[in-house]
Chains A and B, each alone.
Chain A
Amino acid sequence: MHLFLEQLLNGVAQGAIYALVTLGLTLVYGILRVLHVAHAAVYTVGAYLGLLVFNTTGSLALAFAGAMAGCALLGVLIERLVYFPLLKYPPYVPLIGSIAVMLSIEELLRLVAGPYILTFPAKLPFPALHVGGFQISPTLTAVYVITALVLLVLWFITGRTEVGLAMRAASQDMPVADAMGIDSHFVVSLTFVLGSAIAAVAGVLVGIYYNQVYPTMGSVPAYKTLAIIVVGGMGSVSGAVIASLLLGIAETLLIGYANIPLPRDALAFIAMIAVLMWRREGLMGSGR
């Protein structure tokens, strides 16, 4: 029982990290209908930026802030320079562009930072929690708290602010949103800022959690998050979060606890195939 609960806690953390990476992807898909594969590369850049700032300043807060700012900028650049000019073509064209950006960033990181695994020697400024006989490590706590905070802020922005309403309107019909006085292009860029900053948070958290930062750390998330947004329902934020948490828990419990002899990364795709066969709109999708 003890092991089960411990694995459950790890699973939730894993799911929370998936959710952070997937949020940007689902936000971008929701508004542009583009599969932003390069988002996983933004996440990798976030990890590197965070590590760089941490190593030079020694401050974890600055590491997060720097990674978020840098990734927000990178996200907007990708949107303005790659997606926006390609939007008038069929959807596979921006998708190919996105894959190209993903590979370029990975290779660039390999050239600049070297093809090795770097460590992220951060010590979190609070002790482990002891709850009913188990120990929750500081990193685990950080993952929970930060994810909850990010979700809260995102919920507030999309649900409560004027600009959130504008985002929801623009994601449904940009020409009409324009006629209502909404600068749709600004809203799109803002979506990239939000999604990319969240990806940066995920990158830094993963770097600390696994104590590893390497150029291809985005490869597995790149396709796994695609599977997650299909399972959650394309463009649905709540669906993406739920699917991420379920996947994180299922992976950890089935493979780590029940020892089912299955490659861990296959699970997301089994779930995706199942969803495509029985519930094509996904868990929370609108069927659009």
Chain B
Amino acid sequence: MSAPLLEITGLSKTFGGLKAVDNVDMALYSGEILGLLGPNGAGKTVCFNLICGVYRPSAGRIRFDGRRIDGLAPHEVAARGIGRTFQIVKPFAALSVLENVLVARGIRRYGRFSRMWGSWRGRGEKEAAMALLERVGLAELAGRKAGLLPLGNLRRLEIARALAVGSRLVLLDESFSGLRHEEIARLEALVRRIREDGVTILLIEHNMRVTMGLCDRIVVLDHGRRIAEGTPSEIQHDPAVIEAYLGTKGKRHAA
């Protein structure tokens, strides 16, 4: 196999005395869907935020496409081509759906002072943004104020923005939570389509069924540590995973 697109080695993050992420290794290869699974408080979101630059790692390295990205600011990580969604949807509510995507597409220009004064209203920009909306199925709602969309559509909008930023790697933070059955199925199909277009995906998910059905490989975290890694069927039968999720002899109930 070739070199990983995203490579995490010995990643740790401590908050005060608490080890939120503890010496985690993980590799994500081009073109795959990797799931990051774990019970509440396992450190999944912290892991995500470490990759995205929201937090600075206490120890460890993160490499994207061979270059280190740990310690970069969030906007610099985004500029390298990593797009993300948020667990709690955060549209720019006062902007239209199309403008939301245009903001994300600005990634090509924000880095250069001279380019910032250019217009974002060009025909090419709008067409590219519309193409993204088309891809996630929101093209008819382009002119709508983003704040007025229902949750399912907002999740799609977040994915469209993430795709505009990260043409190679997209991080999805619980994009499926709080959705109805049929919406989950449609969103699953969307994620698969995105992968077929050549985008690598790292997803955090709570929903076991979705993760099992969608991911090529799964990494399971518990209490900040990596306790298992493998294909969905391997994970399903891994005793450490079953313990983490269900507990043994009720000792976890005390926690």
Contact = CB atoms under 8 A, between A and B. Distances in A.
A277 interface: no
Given A161-B120, A162-B118, A168-B92, A181 B79 contact: yes
A176 B120 contact: no
A182 B73 CA distance: 10
B92 A178 contact: no
Contacts of B74: 175, 178-179
Given A163-B117, A172-B95, 15 more contacts: A162-B110, A162-B115, A165-B103, A165-B106, A166-B106, A166-B116, A172-B93, A173-B90, A175-B90, A179-B78, A179-B165, A180-B106, A180-B107, A180-B161, A183-B75
A180 B52 CA distance: 11
B90 A161 contact: no
A286 interface: yes
B109 interface: yes
B94 interface: yes
Contacts of B117: 157, 161-163
A4 B104 CA distance: 51
A162 B119 contact: yes
Contacts of A177: 103
Interface in A178-194: 178-184
Contacts of B79: 181
B78 A181 contact: yes
B122 to A, nearest CB: 10
A160 interface: yes
B141 interface: no
A169 B90 CA distance: 11
Interface of A: 157, 160-163, 165-166, 168-169, 172-173, 175-184, 286
Contacts of A160: 119, 121
Interface residues of B, number: 34
Contacts of B109: 162
Interface string B127-164: 00000000000000000000000000000000001001
Contacts of B110: 162-163, 166, 181-183
A175 B95 contact: no
B5 interface: no
A165 B120 contact: yes
Nearest to B85: A179
Contacts of B116: 161-163, 166
B59 interface: no
A181 B107 contact: yes
The residue in B52, B75, B109, B164 that gathers the most chain A C-beta atoms within 10 A of its C-beta is B75
B95 to A, nearest CB: 7
A162 B111 CA distance: 11
The residue in B93, B94, B110, B117 that gathers the most chain A C-beta atoms within 10 A of its C-beta is B110
B95 A169 contact: yes
Contacts of B86: 176, 179
Contacts of B70: none
